Amino acid sequence: MSQPPAASHRHALLSILPYLWPRGEAEMRLRVVLAVVFLVLAKAANVLVPIAYARAVDALAPREGVGAMLAIPVALVIGYGLLRVMSSAFAELRSAVFAKVQARASRRVALRVFAHLHGLSMRFHLDRATGGLSRVIERGTRGIAIALNFLLFNIIPTIVEILLVAAILWWMFAASFALTVLLTIAAYVAFTLLFTNWRLRFRRAMNAMDEEANTKAVDSLLNYETVKYFNNERHEARRYDESLARYERAYTRSETTLNMLNAGQATIMAAGLTVVMLLAGGGIAAGTMTVGDFVMVNTYLIQLYLPLNVLGFAYREIRQGLTDMEQMFRLLDVPAEVRDAPDAKELPPGPGEVAFEEVRFHYRPDREILKGVSFTVPPGRMLAIVGPTGAGKSTISRLLFRFYDATGGTVRVDGEDVRAVTQDSLRRAIGVVPQDTVLFNDTIAYNIAYGRPGATQEEIEEAAKLAQVHEFVMKLPEGYRTRVGERGLKLSGGEKQRVAIARTILKNPRILILDEATSALDTRTEQEIQAALRGVARGRTTLVIAHRLSTVVEADEILVLDEGRVAERGTHAELIARGGLYAEMWRRQSEAVAAAEAAARAEEEARFGRGRSARVEGEMRA
């Protein structure tokens, strides 16, 4: 944390305020007002309780002319009961009315952070662990609930009550009563805060040890197989027990210091109570106070003691809640790297021409990935990009999609600089089948329909047929309603790729990027899909990135990318004739293919041969 905690806590509190008093939401504002009213009523009733109690005691005390007075104490006792009921009823009403405000604030904040995260750049997301981000949102919204509840309904009301009680005591009796109460509470609060701050380290140690023991246990169980391979069960148990022992020590310390805190608090309260009762006793002896007054003073202090009792806990929770909130709000301050220009316009409809002009790009300043790449893909044509791994092929597709901005040169779509149009309109025009397809943990139908939310079942199946995945889906017991598992892991690589192709077909973009879209398929399926993709690509500008050169033979132009530069360009025939890098790659791949085919033939022959000899043997035996 760069800021001091106090400042950052203040920042967190200020950030939440607009959500508690939302503009244009009359209902929420009304609820806030009602909650405050109920809070005041509850506290007022609470403060009146000891007075009713005291007057009842006085009315019941033996005096001359008894008997006739019985009606008064009964009324006072009933009044006492009613006040108590009102005190808790108003407190519950206040919670009920405020619950929605708090839930709405949490919802709005969570949504805002979520939307903001989606608006942030690829770079941010690659650098952050997604699991960690969702934990930050979860803890942050929980922090809002905790901090608000304790602050608004515990700390602040208690302060109000303390001041009210002090005022009443001053007004009814003497300043000494009010001063004693205030001093007692001041001592109590100071002691609690100091002690809790000191104790925090034990609490933290306990959490850290808990986490450590947990991590070890999980890691060890996940590595079940490895543990068995090396007969290390005893070693694992010892390591786990070491962590548990540390946790045991930390827990014991944390608990004993909590007992010390409680004991200290009780001592301070008892001391204050004693002084106040001595003062009241003196008042009775002097005839200025009644027995009822004595009871009243006592009751006030005990009543204040209750909310104060949780002060240490509340303080710790509020601190933690504010820290969590602050962490979440800090996410909102992260600027998006790729942003729409202030005067960005919609990408106008067009034929889909793509042009790179001397484009340079680096992810990190110390390593340039693209060193001046230029090419133009005329509308409806197909450009293939080939080259060794790490050459920057996928990077080109990321720049066109504007996941990053080029550090030099210009990327144009239909003549428009991609930086001058809105990201939304640009991305609507481009369909990408990425190198590593990831699916949502939902059904196949959902994942295909993702290309165009609202697509009908017929449209989904139409796209699936084009992507050669329909037949496979029909073989599944649950068909299109089959769930694909986390990130789509229940599908094979090739099945995933075909689902990804289907959803891009459904998106129907004017520009198509296929980044190794068929790399996970066997040669036969690939050939089938290639045919389908050719159909899809017809009339669209297409960028094909591929390792398997057989898939790019028909491209209108082939770009050989090497170390961020265009090493060669031309049609397949031209490049072969040229006898350069591409020709070399082609020769090697053809050899590999020939070798594979020869191996397959040999295997088939061997099997066929064995089969024949087995038959011959069988015949002979017969």
Residues of this chain that bind ligand ATP (CB under 6 A): 126, 363-364, 369, 389-395, 435
- The site partner of 126 among ligand ATP, Mg ion, none (C-beta below 5 to 8 Å per kind) is ligand ATP
Q: Closest Cα partner for 457 from 404, 495, 502?
A: 502
| Structure tokens, 607 | 């099997």
The number of CA neighbours under 13 Å toward the Cβ of 153 is: 23
Closest approach, Cβ 17 to Mg ion, in A, equals: 47
Q: What share of the chain is helix, strand, coil (3-state, %, to 5)?
A: 70, 10, 20
> Which residue number, 130 or 389, has a Cβ lying nearer to ligand ATP?
389
- Give the C-alpha distances (Å, rounded to integers) separating 446 from 45, 141, 169, 247, 371: 57, 29, 68, 46, 40
Closest approach, Cβ 543 to ligand ATP, in A, equals: 12
- The site partner of 60 among ligand ATP, Mg ion, none (C-beta below 5 to 8 Å per kind) is none
Task: Please give the DSSP secondary-structure letter assigned to residue 579.
Answer: T
> Which residue number, 393 or 496, has a Cβ lying nearer to ligand ATP?
393
Closest approach, Cβ 383 to ligand ATP, in A, equals: 15
> Which residue number, 394 or 468, has a Cβ lying nearer to Mg ion?
394
Phi, psi of 73 (to 5 degrees): -60, -35
- The site partner of 395 among ligand ATP, Mg ion, none (C-beta below 5 to 8 Å per kind) is ligand ATP
- Torsion, Cα 410 121 389 359, to 10 degrees, reads 10
* Site for Mg ion contains 541 (CB under 5 A): no
- The site partner of 390 among ligand ATP, Mg ion, none (C-beta below 5 to 8 Å per kind) is ligand ATP
Stretch that binds Mg ion, among 68-76, 225-233, 429-437, 461-469 (CB under 5 A): 429-437
* Site for Mg ion contains 437 (CB under 5 A): no
Q: How far apart (Å, rounded) are the C-alpha atoms in residues 177 and 69?
A: 31
- The site partner of 231 among Mg ion, ligand ATP, none (C-beta below 5 to 8 Å per kind) is none
Phi, psi of 429 (to 5 degrees): -85, -10
> Which residue number, 392 or 509, has a Cβ lying nearer to ligand ATP?
392
Q: Closest Cα partner for 246 from 206, 216, 219?
A: 206
> Which residue number, 378 or 388, has a Cβ lying nearer to ligand ATP?
388
Which burial class, exposed, middle or buried, applies to 225 when counting CB atoms under 10 A from its CB (0-12, 13-18, 19+)?
Answer: exposed
- Give the C-alpha distances (Å, rounded to integers) separating 288 from 47, 76, 168: 22, 22, 16
- Give the C-alpha distances (Å, rounded to integers) separating 326 from 30, 61, 115, 551: 27, 57, 18, 52
Which burial class, exposed, middle or buried, applies to 478 when counting CB atoms under 10 A from its CB (0-12, 13-18, 19+)?
Answer: exposed
| Size of the residue set binding Mg ion (CB under 5 A) | 2
> Which residue number, 15 or 518, has a Cβ lying nearer to Mg ion?
518
Closest approach, Cβ 397 to ligand ATP, in A, equals: 8
Instruction: Give the residue, chosen from 121, 196, 394, 530, that forms a contact with Mg ion under the rule CB under 5 A.
Output: 394
Point out which residues pair with 37 in neighbouring strands.
none
Closest approach, Cβ 329 to ligand ATP, in A, equals: 27
The gap from C-alpha 381 to its chain's centroid, in whole angstroms, comes to 42
Closest approach, Cβ 567 to ligand ATP, in A, equals: 13
Closest approach, Cβ 513 to Mg ion, in A, equals: 11
Show the binding pattern over residues 351-390: x = contacts Mg ion (CB under 5 A), - = does not: ----------------------------------------
> Which residue number, 104 or 547, has a Cβ lying nearer to ligand ATP?
547
> Which residue number, 361 or 480, has a Cβ lying nearer to ligand ATP?
361
| Structure tokens, 412 | 């144009």
Phi, psi of 386 (to 5 degrees): -125, 170
> Which residue number, 195 or 363, has a Cβ lying nearer to ligand ATP?
363
> Which residue number, 130 or 259, has a Cβ lying nearer to ligand ATP?
130
| Structure tokens, 173 | 């009796």
- Torsion, Cα 146 149 154 156, to 10 degrees, reads 110
Closest approach, Cβ 515 to Mg ion, in A, equals: 6
- The site partner of 369 among ligand ATP, Mg ion, none (C-beta below 5 to 8 Å per kind) is ligand ATP
Closest approach, Cβ 363 to ligand ATP, in A, equals: 3
Which positions touch Mg ion (CB under 5 A)?
394, 435
